[in-house]
Amino acid sequence: MFRVLSVCAILIIALASIATASPQVFLSWDASCPTVVQNKNWSGPANYSMYVALKNLTAADKNVGTEVTLAYGPPVADAWRFDDVGCQYASQVLMTIAPNSPACPAMTSTNSLTLGVFVYDSASQTMHLRLENTYDAFTPSPGVTYTLWNLTFNHAISISGHDNNPSTCDNAATPMCIYMPNPADPNTPSWLWTPAGETEPFTFAQASDGMLSWNAGCQPVPTLASTWGRIRAMYR
């Protein structure tokens, strides 16, 4: 049995272990940056969008890329199985690094190379999403909030409950929590890459910045037992 902690507790531990002067990340639904929308309810088959953004940057945070780790579940309903062997498939998620809104420009530069990978860990019943963007050196401007990623989930074939139709994906109305594990943990990293090849972990201005609710689903969840070594082996 997995040891159970609340998502809040996980994030508070992360906050205690990372210097708060570092870049501060936050998650939100919709195209509303820098306004945060923390809960989204199922309202029928449609596209549902969220974004990842970064603030509290200075010119000293010059970087050549970012890595973001997100997780959701357990459990993960079929409607949220966007991995390549799931009901939805990864092609049903649009992943972009474009500005979420005019107020939040993209943090990227020339020669951008992006990667987005969904991996479902059946042992922990948790979905992991790894997002990477590498580019030529970029120097942030103080006081600016930057878009890192926009994710649009296509739930056109999702249904609220359960049926026996193989053409639909079940239980979209099931509550769920989407969260960022400890950014400083190399097994679940969320950080900047510096031009010197070092990493600068993200922090949270407040613990709730690292989580989003789906149908008010941020309730206690198991800690992640997987490492990226295990996850990498799963998608190779």
What tens digit of pLDDT does each residue of 134-181 get? 999 999 999 999 999 999 999 999 999 988 888 899 999 999 999 999
What architecture (CATH level 2) is domain 4-235? Sandwich (2.60)
Q: CA-to-CA distance for 149 and 3, rounded, in angstroms?
A: 31
The pLDDT of residue 219 is: 63
pLDDT bracket for residue 126 (50, 70, 90) = very high
CA distance 217 to 167: 26
With beta carbons less than 8 A apart as the criterion, state whether 170 and 160 touch: no
Q: How confident is the model at residue 5 (pLDDT cuts 50, 70, 90)?
A: very low
The pLDDT, as a whole number, for residue 227 is 47
pTM of the model: 0.85
Rounded to the nearest integer, the mean pLDDT of the chain is 87
Q: Which amino acid is at 160?
A: S
The dihedral built from the CA positions of residue 54, 60, 62 and 68, taken in this order, carries a sign that is negative
Which carries the bigger pLDDT value, residue 47 or residue 225? 47
Which of 19-33, 53-67, 187-201 has the least mean pLDDT?
A: 19-33
At residue 136, the pLDDT reads: 98
Maximum CA extent, the chain: 55
Name every residue whose Cβ is closer than 8 Å to that of residue 166 and which is 6 or more positions away in sequence.
none
What are the beta bridge partners of residue 163?
A: none
